[in-house]
Amino acid sequence: MPPFADRLLFIKMKARRADEHFQALEKEMSNWALKTHTVTKQTNFENVREIYKINITPTPEVIPMVYGDFICCLRSSLDQLAWRLAHLPPKRIFTRTQQRQINFPIFEDRNSTYEDRRKLFPPAVADVIDTFQPYLRGRAFKDDALWQLNELWNLDKHRTSAIPPYNINLTLPDDAAQDFVRHNRLTYDLEVVIPLHLAWTRYVDLNPRLTVEILFGETNYLEVSLGRLREINEFVRNEVIPRFTDFFP
């Protein structure tokens, strides 16, 4: 154990570093949000159409890179915490296999694997770890902050750090125009193709109120907003880690 008054010093350092990455992510997201899209208009007389093209501004690669750094640091702060907790008292001996299994357990089911992992910790510590488990939510385990953190970490670590998907909300001043929206699901760009007889006989002032939100995760599996990442960050730093302070003399 390190010869410091605060035995959680290194864990808190890692959590602070995660928070610095999150603040950098917020800054990059704010910069990108200043110009999320462009709108261009053209009249196609041959096909008798008025075409409005809405192009989504590509996400800078720094956003998924900083996001990955944040997720990795935050999750590893819990694993480093688990290592310290497992070695209470310091003279406790583990096999090599057990050492590789020491991490902060995050389980959606209380199964035999979870029971084995909790035995790596002193009983009092394991009891507190139990209180943070996603399985306590039953079928709603996917709403749990730690479950989401763990899954986002695995996605970033093993699958992809690609540009995240978007949540696009388009509102048009003229309700009739809503029927002519086309969505390119590969580029996330939009087109509103309106017949000229509608565009000219009833003037369509297409000044779309468009909001574009970057989502993190994987489409059709787990997608979270920047606001949810903030909640996860605060939950780990302000609620999970402090609960174990009293175990360290």
Residue 183: which pLDDT band, with cuts at 50, 70 and 90? low
Distance CA 94, CA 77 (A): 21
User: Of residues 166 and 58, which shows the higher confidence score?
Assistant: 58
Q: Say if residue 88's pLDDT is above 80.
A: yes
**Partners of residue 140 on adjacent β-strands:** none
In the prediction, which pLDDT does 169 show?
63
Does 193 or 143 have the greater pLDDT score? 143
**Cβ atoms of 48 and 65 closer than 8 Å:** no
Confidence grade of residue 59 (pLDDT, cut at 50, 70, 90): confident
CA dist 60 and 214 (Å) reads 11
Quote the CA–CA distance of 101 and 68 in Å, as a whole number: 23
CB 121 within 8 A of CB 85: yes
pLDDT digits (tens, 9 = 90+) for 94-147: 999 999 999 999 999 999 999 999 999 999 999 999 999 999 999 999 999 999
Q: What is the pLDDT of residue 185?
A: 60
Instruction: Give the β-pairing of 181-183 and 209-214.
Output: unpaired
How high is the pLDDT of residue 241?
Answer: 95
Model pLDDT for residues 33-46, shown as the tens digit of each residue: 777 777 777 777 77
Residue 68 has φ and ψ, to the nearest 5°, of -65, -40
Rounded Cα gap, residues 26 and 127, in angstroms: 35
Q: What single letter denotes the amino acid at residue 70?
A: F
HEC string for the chain = CCCCCCCCHHHHHHHHHHHHHHHHHHHHHHHHHCCCEEEEEEEECCCCEEEEEEEECCCCCHHHHHHHHHHHHHHHHHHHHHHHHHCCCCCCCCCHHHHHHCCCCCCCCCCHHHHHHHCCCCHHHHHHHHCCCHHHHHHHHHHCHHHHHHHHHHHHHHCCCCCCCEEEEEECCCHHHHHHEEECCCCCCEEEEEEHHHHHHCCCCCCCEEEEEECEEECCCEEECHHHHHHHHHHHHHHHHHHHHHHCC
pLDDT grade for 182, boundaries at 50, 70 and 90: low
**Mean pLDDT estimate for the chain:** 83
pLDDT at 207 over 80: no
Bridge partners (DSSP) listed for residue 210: 170
pLDDT score of 4: 46
Residue 24 has a pLDDT of 97
217-245 residue pLDDT tens: 887 788 899 999 999 999 999 999 999 99
pLDDT at position 39 is 76
pLDDT at res. 90: 76
- pLDDT of 150 higher than 90: yes
